[in-house]
Structure 1
Amino acid sequence: MARIGVEYGLTDVQAALQQLGHEVVQLRNESDAQGCDCCVVTGQDSNVMGISDAVTQGSVITASGLTAEEICQQVGNKVQG
């Protein structure tokens, strides 16, 4: 499965992605995003982590307004190509 970076505080998303078999990495700083296939951020602080500055080649999903299930669906779409 994919390696997914999840911003601190999104514990429900982290748990849901782990149940699907993904390797989940908690994002504490921008270097944590390196090597991730996809990153999930809260969207509360735009670009605080620097992820939009091409720290990772993977997609960035903003969790704001989405359920954990909806985020998992988006992650699945992004990592499957």
Structure 2
Amino acid sequence: MAKIGVEYGLTDVQEALQQMGHEVVQLRQENDAQGCDCCVVTGQDSNVMGISNSVTQGSVIKASGLSAEDVCQQVQSRFQ
């Protein structure tokens, strides 16, 4: 299964992805996303200053407004 980075605080999403068999890494710092196939973020820390530092080649999913089930479906669609 995929290695998924999940932003700190998205416990329900983390648990749901683990139940699906994915390896889940909690994202607390920018470097934690390295090596992840996909990252799930809250979307709260938006790029205010227009500066973007890419630390992963994988997809990024904003969980804002989505249920854990919705996020899991988006993750699955990325790997089919």
**TM-score normalised over the length of structure 1:** 0.89
2:24 partner letter: V
Return the index of the structure with the highest Cα Rg. 2
Structure with a larger share of its residues in helix: 1
SS across alignment from 2:76: helix
CA contact (8 A) 1:38 1:79 kept: no
Runs of 4+ in 1 over 3 A off after TM superposition: none
**TM-score normalised over the length of structure 2:** 0.90
Residue in structure 1 matched with residue 15 of structure 2 by the alignment:
15
How far residue 54 of structure 1 moved from its aligned partner, in angstroms, is: 1.9
Residue in structure 2 matched with residue 28 of structure 1 by the alignment:
28
Any stretches of 5+ residues in structure 2 without a counterpart?
A: none
Identical columns (%): 81
Q: Is the counterpart of residue 43 in structure 1 residue 43 in structure 2?
A: yes
Any stretches of 5+ residues in structure 1 without a counterpart?
A: none
Q: Is the counterpart of residue 56 in structure 1 residue 56 in structure 2?
A: yes
Say how many residue pairs are matched: 77
